[in-house]
Amino acid sequence: MPTLSLPVELNSLQQQDLYYANVRKIIYMGLGPLGCAPRTVWENSNSTAEINGGKCIDWINEMIIEYNAIVSSSVVDMGMELRDAQIIFCDVYKGMMDIINNPRRYGFENVHSACCGIGRYGGMVGCVSKEVACEEPSTHVWWDFYNPTKAVNTLLAHSIWFGQPLFDICLPISIQQLTSM
């Protein structure tokens, strides 16, 4: 597995610049599970056999988890340094993986294939026209190569704002709580 290196100092400098510009509420969004995206799964399979049966590519998601952990830790550290600032981190990876691992709970049926794409998992050729799109996008997690469907984005947005139905995506508080402070 490749090693991930993130210039945390640069991230901290950007936060400090925002702070000195009198910004007191900052929201960081983590990365989603790119190792589960149709294009990534297609690129990591071959024509005769499917890797993991079309499931997520672990080594890619492990890098996403590491990146999100580094950013989250930086947010916590900066929050302690800049006491009158409210800085939160929203873990989109965590929310999307809950959807992917429990699709029926959230009304999804297809967690691996793009709604709009051609080839294995809809990951070979992108969404070239509405004619290649699936009939029920709300049952798919992925719209195209890398982007979630409107249904997933709506679920994530509600969870990020209200703190539910996908719990604890944003920490230490939800965006709704942040805006009311």
Residue 14 sits in a domain of what CATH number? 3.40.50.1110
Query: Could you read off the pLDDT of 100-149 as tens digits, one per residue?
Result: 999 999 999 999 999 999 999 988 998 888 888 999 999 999 999 999 99
pLDDT band for 151, please (50, 70, 90 cuts): very high
> Distance (Å, rounded) from C-alpha 39 to C-alpha 16?
37
Q: What are the backbone angles phi and psi of residue 56, rounded to the nearest 5°?
A: -65, 150
Taking every pair of C-alpha atoms in the chain, what is the biggest distance, in angstroms?
Answer: 57
Domain around 159: 8-179
For tokens 């983590």, the residue is 30
Task: Give residue 6's Cα distance to chain centre.
Answer: 18
Q: Is position 83 within any domain?
A: yes
> Distance (Å, rounded) from C-alpha 160 to C-alpha 138?
19
Instruction: Name the nearest CA neighbour of 85 among 26, 172, 24, 14.
Output: 24
Q: Is position 101 within any domain?
A: yes
Contact 114, 121 (CB under 8 A): yes
Percent of all residues in the chain with a pLDDT value above 90, rounded to a whole number: 54
Number of domains, the chain: 1
Contact 120, 42 (CB under 8 A): yes
Q: Write the secondary structure of 45-65 as one string of H (helix), E (strand) and C (coil).
A: CCCCCCHHHHCCCHHHHHHHH
Q: Is position 65 within any domain?
A: yes
Q: Is position 2 within any domain?
A: no
Query: Could you read off the pLDDT of 25-40 as tens digits, one per residue?
Result: 888 899 999 999 999 9
Say if residue 1's pLDDT is above 80. Answer: no
Q: Is position 122 within any domain?
A: yes
Say if residue 164's pLDDT is above 80. Answer: yes
Query: pTM to 2 decimals?
Result: 0.85
Q: Is position 3 within any domain?
A: no
